[in-house]
Amino acid sequence: MTDRKSLFKNLEALASQAPAIVDLFNTEPNRLDRFVMREGPLRADFSKQAISGNALDALLDLAAKCHLEEWRAKLFAGETVNTSEDRAVLHMALRGVGGTKDIQDDVNQMRRHMAEFADEIRAEGKFKSIVHIGIGGSDLGPRLVSDGFEAMAEQALTLRFAENVDGASINDALSGLDPKETLVIIVSKSFGTQETKMNGLSARAWLSESLGDKAGEHMLAVTANRERAIDFGIKTENIFDFWDWVGGRYSVWSAVGLSLQIAYGPDVFSEFLEGAEAMDMHFRDQPLQENLPVMMALTGIWNRNAMGYSSLAVIPYSRRIRKLAAFLQQLEMESNGKGATRDGEPAGMTCPVIWGDEGTNGQHAFFQWLHQGTGLGGNGGAPVDFVAVLKDHENRPEHHAALLANCFAQSEALMIGKPEAIVRKELGDRADIDALAPQKTFPGNRPSTTITLDELSPFALGHLIALYEHKVFVQGVIWNVNSFDQWGVELGKVLATTILDEMKAGETGHHDASTTALMGLVT
């Protein structure tokens, strides 16, 4: 058995003597050769991480000792990697990589069916709008990708999303739409999710008011549980299936992306899949030291387990992918936010908090904390993933140059900081210099990775998302957690059902005093 504890201790010892990041550029003149990687349209610069060449060797050794290559082979071979749910994990098969011939045949059939269906709807012109209903993995991917496609593709139908059980969500989604021209797609792997079912019922009532019996012709379902969709009242021919080996948060590549196919066209969606496929092959075939998802994962392990950071900020300097942090919150935190290992042992430090917002907006909000905030490990602040798109898709060259300059400046500023000596020199002989100088000092040495995409094509977007998916897998292997279950979301769901039933019955049930009082506000 791998003694992870001692391997992590070794990393901690290395981190305690880690040189300042700026110094690494002097002591390792060829640093970029090892710390910058490119695959297709994506370049990732890890050189502004507080990781020396020696530390990287130790991280690669850790990956090898955690049997990463064996786990990677098991993943692509379709072995039961999701052990607690007894399932294979094969979202890569949706982009043509891995799985058996039978699986590939099923996938190809589904892809053909989706493409033909999307083409038909687009050619017919009957529908002008789509309302995509789903939550979590049945929502976040399509939402992120829809915005991302806007950079280079044309949306032929209006696409709205309803996810929250808050009535505002479905009201906003339906507002101003004509039921006669609206297609409602209910997306739920389980078809048992409270929010989605409730929004689906409200959408159906809205359609029925104008269309009567014909409402069913305007409703589709995408699910891995056909029976439940039929019970809900969806016509069998209007159901698109996917499989239990596709995890919800890895499902945008499946029929969950049907609304994207209809709105943007099957060719755009195929290009998106191809981008992910290229990253799958890179991850599957490249040695660990030249492997982008591995490098990204190891960087995260270093920051979490050696430097002690408890969060990671993800800042896209591209409005079109501004929902990246929200998407990654589910992908990373639902996958690796685990407290027990696969063997039932305490897992130690696993997934950090993922958070962020688009740049430059964040600069005027939380960047103060990134530059000078304290606590939360390392030097304070948090490591950052900057994500930028090199091509200007908005025909605003001046805006774009300023956007990129801000992105690059922030990573530099976080790293170099501003030493107190320089601040004191600038302040001269002011009487309040002792109070002011520390306030104007930037500690620096705050790590970041900068990912650039040559352009925000569907291909590049697929590449980027698949990169993060595989990063999550690698980190799960190293932390020895099952990245593909999510038992931690169950308790709240069960209690919400009980509380809703009790509130409807005018009861307060048996709860703690606080919960009882809150329920009393409603009953």
Which parts of 305-396 fold into alpha helices (H)?
324-328, 335-336, 367-372
Q: Are 50 and 14 in contact (CB under 8 A)?
A: no
Q: How many residues does the chain have?
A: 523
Q: What is the secondary structure of 122-149 as a DSSP string? A: HHH----EEEEE--GGGTHHHHHHHHHH
Rounded alpha-carbon distances, angstroms, from residue 502 to 369, 381, 513, 514, 522: 43, 44, 15, 16, 11
Among candidate residues 182, 183, 200, 203, the one with its CA nearest the CA of residue 192:
200
CB of 190 to ligand F6P, least distance (A): 3
From the candidates 101, 124, 237, 364, give the one annotated as an active-site residue: 364
Q: Is 334 a residue of the active site? A: yes
**Judged by CB under 6 A, which stretch of 77-85, 114-122, 129-137, 428-436 contacts ligand F6P?**
129-137
Q: Which of 163, 271, 334, 469 is catalytic?
A: 334
3-state SS assignment for residue 355: strand
Positions 138 through 167 that interact with ligand F6P (CB under 6 A): 138
Contact segment (CB under 6 A) with ligand F6P among 78-86, 185-193, 283-291, 344-352 equals 185-193
Pick the binder of ligand F6P from 24, 135, 301, 382 (CB under 6 A).
135
Residue 246 or 306 having the CB closest to ligand F6P: 246
Smallest distance from the beta carbon of 189 to ligand F6P, in angstroms? 4
Could you identify the residue written with the tokens 């990373």?
332
Q: How far is the CB of 454 from ligand F6P (least distance, A)?
A: 31
Query: Beta 36-39 vs 42-45: how paired, if at all?
Result: antiparallel
SS3 of 307-323: the string is CCCCEEEEEEECHHHCC
Strands 311-317 and 353-355: parallel
Q: Which is nearer to ligand F6P, 311 or 329 (CB)?
A: 329
- Residue closer to ligand F6P by CB (options 410, 486) is 486
C-beta of 111 vs 249, nearer to ligand F6P = 249
Q: Which of 52, 129, 188, 445 binds ligand F6P (CB under 6 A)?
A: 188
Residue with smaller CB distance to ligand F6P, 480 or 486 = 486
**Rounded least distance, CB 164 to ligand F6P, Å:** 12
Q: Smallest distance, Å, CB 402 to ligand F6P?
A: 37
User: Phi-psi region for residue 239, left (φ > 0), alpha (ψ -120 to 50) or beta?
Assistant: beta
For the bound state, the minimum distance from the C-beta of residue 250 to ligand F6P, rounded and expressed in Å, comes to: 9
Active site residue 163: no
Sole binder of ligand F6P in the list 87, 95, 189, 424 (CB under 6 A)? 189
Per CB under 6 A, the segment of 18-26, 77-85, 186-194, 272-280 that binds ligand F6P is 186-194
Tell me the closest approach of the beta carbon of residue 136 to ligand F6P, in angstroms.
3
Say which of 426, 493, 504, 507 is annotated catalytic.
493
Q: What does the alpha-carbon distance between residue 186 and residue 163 come to, in Å, rounded to a whole number?
A: 10
Structure tokens at 202: 């409200």
Instruction: Tell me if 47 contacts ligand F6P by CB under 6 A.
Output: no
Count of Cβ atoms closer than 10 Å to residue 81 Cβ: 21
Amino acid type, 173: A
3-class secondary structure, 120: helix
Contact between 194 and ligand F6P per CB under 6 A:
no
- Catalytic (active site) residue 364: yes
Residue 335 in contact with ligand F6P, rule: CB under 6 A: no
Stretch that binds ligand F6P, among 49-57, 133-141, 309-317, 386-394 (CB under 6 A): 133-141
Question: Of the candidates 47, 49, 196, 480, which one interacts with ligand F6P according to CB under 6 A?
Answer: 196
Residue 193 lies near ligand F6P (rule: CB under 6 A):
yes
Q: Which residue stretch of 182-190, 291-299, 443-451, 468-476 sits at the interface with ligand F6P (rule: CB under 6 A)?
A: 182-190
Taking CB under 6 A as the criterion, which residues in 485-514 touch ligand F6P? 486, 489
Identify residues 243-262 at the interface with ligand F6P (CB under 6 A): 248-249
Determine the Cα–Cα distance for residues 243 and 103; give it in Å rounded to an integer. 10
User: Is residue 397 classed exposed, middle or buried when 0-12, 13-18 and 19+ CB atoms within 10 A define those classes?
Assistant: exposed
CA distance 45 to 37: 7
- Rounded to an integer, what distance in angstroms lies between the CA atom of residue 407 and that of residue 185? 38
Q: Which residues are catalytic?
A: 334, 364, 493
Given the rule CB under 6 A, which residues bind ligand F6P? 135-138, 188-190, 193, 196, 248-249, 334, 486, 489
